[in-house]
């Protein structure tokens, strides 16, 4: 068909492009004149394609068609007029001219809302359904017969922008093209619009958008969001017009608190809170407004209403002055009609538009990578001076710090003052648990409480998941460039490094980890992990796939690697920070948001980590930390329908329960790192010194609280007695004591229940006939100290040969000289398969044994050698899925296949 496209905007451009792809001939484009020297996007696209473009300032004069304009239109010979988005009045002589007439796109389910502000009134009236109509034009402009309609649900906090971006734009383009397809096929209906149910409201102008406070909270919310962002709902506050943006309905089961703000006409004063401005309807229910704009154009977060309008000016250093001059040049290149950029120059009053905001943000990124500037920041600092001050504060890392309120517990310990948050971290804030529930976390060195920690409840889990979902679907994180995401993770790693001594000290007093080990491994490897995965953020790629072509058509098929969404992570108590890092770093690098439950007995480094994510500039809701009970918090995360992935490290028993819950709830993706009984085979041709040293490490590293600890050593008979003797000698040299003492080798076990379990485990071994060579008892001193233990003469049927101790207990069994296959059979006779090891100087034997061992990791002539680039995970009932390395990203990504026919 020969089509004339009459309209404007990117929407019009998309319709134009899709109609051309459908094979229609666009005979002409009629659009608006250039504005400030810039052509409309529809005009730009058409001119690039060589299509005739007409830019009439108007089509009618005094209600009649302009003859010259009408004559030019008739020359193009259109068979159909398509008006995808048209702000001009088109005369009926043009509407009726083509043989197929004219069709128009309208952002409303006609006849419900007619007029230019239909989408606004959909929200203002609180309609549960929105949508669009493609109709046949008549002299009533929006009263002609209906050709096609599509509808969508209206979400509680939708604005004009969100509905437009989610549905009206993408589906509207498709619907308009579908309407043309129906006309071409002779199947287009003409459904007469009824008058019943039709509404005509005033065009939304600023003078019409004043808030009437004598309404319910829901009606107020609908009025504000229906006017957001244009023209903006306003009211008089403190003698000036204040415009309200970003309204959400509040759960009225919670009590609002904040500093009162008198609003004339309101049923009661508003409350300026940490989250924004709480407003009350005449029904006593509440809504929350996030941003306010004053008459001079300045926009602020509503939470900052009572702060000084102008914070103290920052004195610029020479480097910052140079940056300011660079930005002055950028502003001049954007604001071409301004002779000189001075401190008071206002970006928007000088003619800048939304695309100019995008350009300004990108220009800043080119000149200062450290400045994490968002579009909203430009609206908050509209004058040149405010803009530079804001950028400089971000350069110095000062921006946002004062917004984070932390109730610290301080302790003078380890020759430093450590500052420990102790609350839940939800949506970028430290908050108390529902019902103010708390529990005491215990220092295993002396058995005394460290502090009270908030104990998360089911309602807290739901709040955290909702925050993570919003951050992923609607927030800045989901829209962030992967390279910018990586930059944030790098910044987090840098902050962790700056706080490494504090983190290691907290780890030592909360988990019993020896401080030097905590500094090197618990914290050091955590920092390495975040740096490693930060580098992967912009390297996650799909592939193109050569599929079988169906001639004469051709196809392009490719895959996209996309983040999953809200991920729950449940971690154990043996490496509180490192286990957090191993899972969270890959999860964030892939673009997901996180709700993490640390072990109830070791929550403190996790909540300190939460503080550092906020300091690093992570958007609210991306990281949420919930100390609490596994039976409650872990269970709710497993069951939650909005959690799309759960990563768990812990016991096999709990892992099986989690896997079942995840399947029943919503078939969420699961990765599990579970129990182990890792075999270590030591052949008589080994390097004995190394075998003893690494054998000790394989069992006693981190007090034996190590998921890959060698749960059973198989020592070849010719060296068995010598090996045992050497090990016992080394055990007796180990210094047991305060983990903060730099000379300590072996600290306390993590918690009392675990200590009791180890005592019982060793008593069982003795009863079954194993020979207790040394250790096996609780040390008589304050705290949860347990003697490093060695058992020999352990047979395959014994409990201690089959079950994991998860403590400093070495289980030694003999095997006959030269019987490689027999010892392999014994080593593999377990349902666990996390790790394993072999010591031998014979490379052929090493390769053969490493091939036959049924474990996710095999160490040869070493042990505990993990690296952030090497995948880690188990076989059999030790779980599935990988932490670390490139493979870990697969656990937090989904693959989408896309096929395009052309």
For 790-798, which contacts have Cβ atoms below 8 Å and span 24 or more sequence positions?
Answer: 790/724, 790/727, 790/728, 790/731, 791/762, 791/765, 792/720, 792/724, 793/769, 794/712, 794/765, 794/770, 795/769, 795/770, 796/826, 796/829, 798/765, 798/768, 798/769, 798/770
Cα Dmax for the chain: 110
- Measure the CA–CA gap between 614 and 400, rounded to whole angstroms: 8
User: 180: which strand partners?
Assistant: none
Per the listing, tokens 């040299």 go with 733
The Cα-based distances of 793 to 113, 337, 719, 808 in angstroms read 86, 90, 14, 18
| Distance from C-alpha of 708 to C-alpha of 699, rounded to nearest angstrom | 9
CA distance 569 to 579: 10
Q: Sort 397 into a burial class: Cβ within 10 Å, 0-12 / 13-18 / 19+.
A: middle
CB 72 within 8 A of CB 30: no
Nearest by Cα to 774 from 764, 760, 783, 762: 762
Beta bridge partner(s), residue 3:
26, 80
The secondary structure of the chain in percent helix, strand, coil, rounded to multiples of 5, reads: 35, 25, 40
What is the Cα–Cα distance from 441 to 451, expressed in whole angstroms? 6
Taking residue 453's Cβ as centre, other Cβ atoms within 10 Å add up to 27
For 684-710, b/e burial (b = at least 16 CB within 10 A) is bebebeebbebbbbbbbbbbbbbbbbb
What are the residue numbers of the active site?
106, 673, 707
Alpha helices in 164-259 (DSSP H): 170-184, 217-226
CB contact at 8 A, 204 and 122: no
Is 787:779 a contact under the CB 8 Å cutoff? Answer: yes
CA distance 837 to 825: 14
Query: Residues near 654 by Cβ (< 8 Å), separated by ≥ 6?
Result: 630, 634, 648
Is the bond leading into 366 cis (omega within 30 degrees of zero)? Answer: no
């Amino acid at each position: 068909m020969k089509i004339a496209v009459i309209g404007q905007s990117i929407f019009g451009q998309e319709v134009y492009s899709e109609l051309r792809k459908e094979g229609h001939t666009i005979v002409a484009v009629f659009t608006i004149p250039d504005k400030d020297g810039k052509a409309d996007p529809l005009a730009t696209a058409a001119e690039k394609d060589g299509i005739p473009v007409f830019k009439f300032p108007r089509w009618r004069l005094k209600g009649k068609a302009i003859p010259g304009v009408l004559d030019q239109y008739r020359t193009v010979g259109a068979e159909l007029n398509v008006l995808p988005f048209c702000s001009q009045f088109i005369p009926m002589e043009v509407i009726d001219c083509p043989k197929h007439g004219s069709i128009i796109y309208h952002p409303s389910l006609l006849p419900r809302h007619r007029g230019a502000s239909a989408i606004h009134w959909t929200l203002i009236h609180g309609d549960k359904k929105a949508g669009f109509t493609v109709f046949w034009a008549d002299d009533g402009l929006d009263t002609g017969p209906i050709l096609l309609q599509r509808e969508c649900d209206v979400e509680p906090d939708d604005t004009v922008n969100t509905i437009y971006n989610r549905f009206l734009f993408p589906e509207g383009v498709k619907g308009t093209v579908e309407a043309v397809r129906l006309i071409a096929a002779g199947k287009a209906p003409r459904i007469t619009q009824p008058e019943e149910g039709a509404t005509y409201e005033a065009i939304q102008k600023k003078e019409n958008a004043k808030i009437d406070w004598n309404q319910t909270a829901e009606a107020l919310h609908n009025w504000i969001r229906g006017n957001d962002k244009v023209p903006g709902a306003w009211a008089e506050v403190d003698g000036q017009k204040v415009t309200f943006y970003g309204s959400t309905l509040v759960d009225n089961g919670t009590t609002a608190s904040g500093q009162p703000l008198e609003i004339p006409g309101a049923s009661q004063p508003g409350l300026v809170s940490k989250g924004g401005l709480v407003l009350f309807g005449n029904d006593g229910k509440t809504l929350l407004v996030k941003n306010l704009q004053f008459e001079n154009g300045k926009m602020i977060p509503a939470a900052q209403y009572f702060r000084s309008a102008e914070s103290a000016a920052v004195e610029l250093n020479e480097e910052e002055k140079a940056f300011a001059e660079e930005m002055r040049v950028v502003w001049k290149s954007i604001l071409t009609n301004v002779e000189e950029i001075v401190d008071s120059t206002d970006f928007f009053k000088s003619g800048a538009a939304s695309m100019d905001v995008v350009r300004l943000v990108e220009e800043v990124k080119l000149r200062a990578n450290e400045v994490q500037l968002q579009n909203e920041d430009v609206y908050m600092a509209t004058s040149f001076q405010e803009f530079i001050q804001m950028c400089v504060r971000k350069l110095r890392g000062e921006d946002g710090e004062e917004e984070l309120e932390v109730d610290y517990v301080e302790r003078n310990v380890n020759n430093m003052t450590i500052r420990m948050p102790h609350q839940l971290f939800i949506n970028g804030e430290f908050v108390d648990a529902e019902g103010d529930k708390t529990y005491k976390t215990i220092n295993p060195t002396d058995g005394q409480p460290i502090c009270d920690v908030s104990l998360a409840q089911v309602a807290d889990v739901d709040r955290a998941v909702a925050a993570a979902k919003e951050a992923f679907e609607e927030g800045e994180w989901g829209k962030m460039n992967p390279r910018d995401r990586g930059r944030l993770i790098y910044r987090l790693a840098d902050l962790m490094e700056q706080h490494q001594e504090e983190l290691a000290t907290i780890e030592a007093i909360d988990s019993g980890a020896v401080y030097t080990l905590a500094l090197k491994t618990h914290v050091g490897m955590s920092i390495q992990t975040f740096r490693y995965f930060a580098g992967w953020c912009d390297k996650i790629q799909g592939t193109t796939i050569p599929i079988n072509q169906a001639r004469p058509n051709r196809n392009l098929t490719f895959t996209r690697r996309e983040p999953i969404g809200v991920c729950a992570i449940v971690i154990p108590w043996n490496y509180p920070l490192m286990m957090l890092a191993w899972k969270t770093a890959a999860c964030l690098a892939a673009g997901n948001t996180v709700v993490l439950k640390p072990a109830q007995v070791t929550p403190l480094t996790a909540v300190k980590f939460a503080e550092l994510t906020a300091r690093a500039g992570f958007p609210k809701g991306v990281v949420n930390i919930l100390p609490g009970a596994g039976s409650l918090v872990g269970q709710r995360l497993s069951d939650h329908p909005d959690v799309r992935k759960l990563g768990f490290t812990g016991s096999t028993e709990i892992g099986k329960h989690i896997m079942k819950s995840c399947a029943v709830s919503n078939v969420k993706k699961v990765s599990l790192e579970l129990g182990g009984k890792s075999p270590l085979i030591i052949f008589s041709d080994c390097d004995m010194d190394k075998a003893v040293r690494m054998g000790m490490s394989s069992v006693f590293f981190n007090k034996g609280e190590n998921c890959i600890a060698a749960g059973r050593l198989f020592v070849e008979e010719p060296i068995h007695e010598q090996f045992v003797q050497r090990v016992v000698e080394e055990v007796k040299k180990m210094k047991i004591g305060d983990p903060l003492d730099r000379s300590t080798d072996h600290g306390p076990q993590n918690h009392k229940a675990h200590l009791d379990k180890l005592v019982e485990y060793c008593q069982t071994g003795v009863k079954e006939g194993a020979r207790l060579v040394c250790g096996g008892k609780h040390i008589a001193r304050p705290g949860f100290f347990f003697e490093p233990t060695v058992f020999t003469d352990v047979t395959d049927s014994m409990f201690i040969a089959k079950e994991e101790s998860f403590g400093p207990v070495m289980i030694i069994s003999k095997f006959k000289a030269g019987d490689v296959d027999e010892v392999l059979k014994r080593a593999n006779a377990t349902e666990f398969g996390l790790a394993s090891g072999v010591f031998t100087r014979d490379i052929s034997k090493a390769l053969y044994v490493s091939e036959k061992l049924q474990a996710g990791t095999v160490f040869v002539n070493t042990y505990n050698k993990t690296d952030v680039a090497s995948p880690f995970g188990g076989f059999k009932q030790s779980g599935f899925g990988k932490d670390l390395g490139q493979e870990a990203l697969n656990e937090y990504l989904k693959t989408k296949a896309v096929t395009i026919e052309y």
